[in-house]
Amino acid sequence: MQRVFPKIFFEITLTIISVEMAGYFIPEGMRYSTLDERQQFYTQEFDIRKVAGWFRGRTDKIRFAVIIGRHTKIFPEKYAEDASTTIIIDEYNDLEDVKSQIIEFLPEAVYYDRNVYDENEKKACQELAFDLDPENIICPIHGSLADKMERHQGLSFCELELQMVKEETLRLYEYLAKNFSHLKIVYSGRGFHIHVFDSEAYELNNKKRKSVAKDVKEKGFDIDEWVTVGDMRLIRLPFSLHGLVSRTVIPLEKAELEDFEPVKDERCIPRFLRK
């Protein structure tokens, strides 16, 4: 007996696939934050004491940075000219002052500099970090980063990629824990970061960082080498708002990561989305 699938079946299937590809951007519920929402977040929700806690142990003056509207094209009119610039915040009195400057700029992203500077403002050492992004995952639906770039979807990612990158982060954590003892995981809004706070890690020179990055890549982890090697010294500030996806950047214990669902988890959903 010959089975004939009705034509409508194929048409529906094709429609589902093309909607999935064309509409492929970021998981449902994640979206750009408006200027008003950034304002609400940084005035009412951003907890500078938690930020201070993150930097406990650092005695040098930390440099911060903001990007106002490079990707979102959402920025206060008066900063139109600097919307895509990385603005360094290194002149401030205290963290409250940093917060005021963030509220002034209402940026899409806030970072801090992993470099530690000496009293002459020369780089003394650098915090070691690993960056795992969902777009680097080879997705069964959306393909590799190259495939995504070809479709101009280099910044897009899906829930499956988020899930896969989370599992990869757990594996990398376990791998790194063999050599380091002070590790912290951060959900960055898109993917995950692993920060290494061992003092030996701060002291690694450029060559050693390169070999660490190479080793981790060879073990099959899709990290962004620029971050580990140190050329990209800025990293997203924990407890800030990721304005492309409207998620709070939060540190997570390894045990918490296992059940963590970035799309639904209340801890990373800013108040303006919790209604």
Closer residue to Zn ion (CB): 94 or 167: 167
Show contacts with Zn ion in window 207-246 (CB under 5 A). Answer: none
Count other C-beta atoms under 10 Å from residue 232's C-beta.
15
Show contacts with Zn ion in window 10-39 (CB under 5 A). Answer: none
Least spacing, CB of residue 116 vs Zn ion, in Å: 37
| Binding track over 156-195 against Zn ion, x by CB under 5 A | --x--x----------------------------------
CA 189 – CA 248 distance, rounded (Å)? 6
Query: If binding means CB under 5 A, how many residues of this protein chain bind Zn ion?
Result: 5
HSE value, Cβ hemisphere, 13 Å, CA-based, for 142: 30
Least spacing, CB of residue 263 vs Zn ion, in Å: 13
Strand order through the sheet with 86-89: 86-89, 64-67, 109-113, 234-236
Q: How far is CA 87 from CA 25, 66, 68, 195, in A?
A: 27, 5, 8, 23
Least spacing, CB of residue 191 vs Zn ion, in Å: 13
Closer residue to Zn ion (CB): 159 or 198: 159
Least spacing, CB of residue 155 vs Zn ion, in Å: 13
Closer residue to Zn ion (CB): 142 or 233: 142
Least spacing, CB of residue 137 vs Zn ion, in Å: 7
Least spacing, CB of residue 133 vs Zn ion, in Å: 12
Closer residue to Zn ion (CB): 38 or 142: 142
Stretches 1-9, 70-78, 151-159, 261-269: which one binds Zn ion (CB under 5 A)?
A: 151-159
Count other C-beta atoms under 10 Å from residue 188's C-beta.
23
Q: Are strands 109-113 and 64-67 parallel, antiparallel or unpaired?
A: antiparallel
Q: How far is CA 156 from CA 123, 186, 193, 194, in A?
A: 34, 20, 18, 22
Closer residue to Zn ion (CB): 124 or 263: 263
User: How distant is the alpha carbon of residue 86 from its chain centre?
Assistant: 16
Quick one: tokens of 111? 């970072």
Quick one: tokens of 233? 């010294």
Angle at CA of residue 126, ends 123 and 129, nearest 5°: 155
| Binding track over 119-148 against Zn ion, x by CB under 5 A | --------------------x-xx------
| Residue nearest Zn ion by beta-carbon distance | 139
Q: Are 126 and 139 in contact (CB under 8 A)?
A: no
Least spacing, CB of residue 131 vs Zn ion, in Å: 19
Closer residue to Zn ion (CB): 158 or 223: 158
Closer residue to Zn ion (CB): 14 or 141: 141
Least spacing, CB of residue 272 vs Zn ion, in Å: 27
In sequence order, what are the residues at sequence separation of 6 or more whose Cβ sits closer than 8 angstroms to the Cβ of residue 108? 32, 33, 38, 67, 68, 69, 70, 71, 72, 74, 75, 243, 244
Going by C-alpha positions, the residue among 145, 140, 143, 164 that lies closest to residue 262 is 164
Closer residue to Zn ion (CB): 26 or 106: 26
Q: Could you list the residues that contact Zn ion (CB under 5 A)?
A: 139, 141-142, 158, 161
